Structure formats: C-alpha cells, structure tokens
Structure 1
Amino acid sequence: MLAAAVPCTVNAGNFHPVLKNRAMASRHLAAASGTSVTCLTWEARALLNRIRAQFGNVEIVSTCRPGARIAGTNHLSRHASGQAIDFRVPGKKGQVVRWLIANHHNGGVMTYSDMDHIHVDIGPHFVALNRPSGRT
C-alpha cells in the first residue's frame, strides 16, 4: 500500500514533509487512483514498462483502487495495493496474453469472458483465461 512506500509517521515533530498523517496518505492514494501509474509499486511500473516496450503504448483501464476487493470475496484485490494493472492493446489481445504467459512469472495474468481487457499483477504466478468477472 502507498503508506508502506511513503512513510506516514505521526509522532509529534516527526512528520513526513508531504504526507503528515494517514488521512492525507489516504487522500493522496485516492487522488492517484483510477488510471494513474504513479500509484503503482515499482514492480508493477516495471512490468508495465516491459509491456509497453514490447507492444507500444497501452490503454490503461484501471490501476489503483483503494479498498478494492476481489469480486465475490472479501479478499483485497492487488489493485488496492498498487500491484495490478488492467489494460487493453487493441487488436493484439491474444498476442499480448501469449507474451505475458511466456514472460511474466512474478505474478498473475487473467482475462475475463465478459470483458475485453487484460489483468496483470505482481504476486504469486497464475494464469486464468476467460474467467467470469463476477460482476453482474
């Protein structure tokens, strides 16, 4: 989470120069939500840079979403901690997915049967193709 990447100490006289408390850190993360890449961990940004180097610029669908949960569960999504990216590369989805399966082993690759984007994240390695999104 951003609070771990940017210290938010609230001890008297020991304030972070930019983020003075957890409420400000939360507002900062919320401001960086959506499709911004500034909220991503360095590992997620490095992955995005590798994808862009291979396929050109990509259309970001979603990055950081504070409090995001995996659909149908109470588990936090990797989007909540800046470790996941949902994106599109129009006309190249199959090519991108094949490349990710062959080259991304430090996290997951997922596609959804009812959505057109690709999900990648940092964490345990998995591949899940054409899964239902769990959204109604």
Structure 2
Amino acid sequence: MRVLVVKTSSMGDVIHSFPAVEDARRSRPDVSFDWCVEEAFAGIVALHPAIATIHSVAIRRWRTSPLVPGTWRQAAGLRRALRDRRYDLVIDAQGLLKSAVVAKQAAAPIAGFDRSSAREPSATLFYDRRYAV
C-alpha cells in the first residue's frame, strides 16, 4: 500500500505530524509513506526514515506569480508526479483548501478532517473520508 501525506507547512506543524507516521508505520509496516511539503521544509521531511519519496511544492511562490508560465509548468509537473505514484490513499493532515487541492491532484481517495475539525471547512468537500479529531 502506498500513502501520500499532505502537510505542506509550517515547520512546527510538519514536525508534529511525524509521530502519526511513526504510529501508522508500527501498525502497518507494509505501507510505504510519501510526503508532499512546501519546498522550504523538504529537508526536514527528508530526515524522517519512514518517508520514501518527498514531493516539494512551491505554493507560497506560486501565489505571488500565478500568471507566470513557469508556475503552471511546475504545478502540472507536480500533478504528473503524484499521479504516476498511483497512491492508494492520500491523507490531508493540514485541513486547508490549499492542501486539499494538492491532495486531489493525486487522483486517489482522500482522508481528512471532518467539517468541525478542519481549519478551513471547505477543504472537506474534497475528502472521501472525514474524521473528527
């Protein structure tokens, strides 16, 4: 089974998500975990031994240059890379609209927070499975 964790930022939030991967890995050693993270924090995620592949995104930079052709090429490249991995499940550990949109690019079932737990309730519209936290 291949799982993508989407937690793009911030540094503290990314680090605080590591124990969830550890717990899941202990419970399901057959699962391969990948992570989608803002490019500034990719080095931190690379330190985690259970993460097989890191997909870095540049959402912060893309927001400042949405009409630049390079932005669209990079976003399309991310979409291709996520779909090529053929994930069995995507976990949106952020609960934001931006992370839900990134998660959707993987074309796999998405698990995330329920409406009352998500930081941005509109993000839950993208989820196939919702959990109260």
TM-score by length of 1: 0.27
TM-score by length of 2: 0.28
Query: Comparing both chains, which one has the higher relative contact order based on Cα–Cα distances under 8 Å and sequence gaps of 6 or more?
Result: 2
Bigger Rg over Cα:
1
Kindly indicate which of the two structures has a greater share of residues assigned to strand: 2
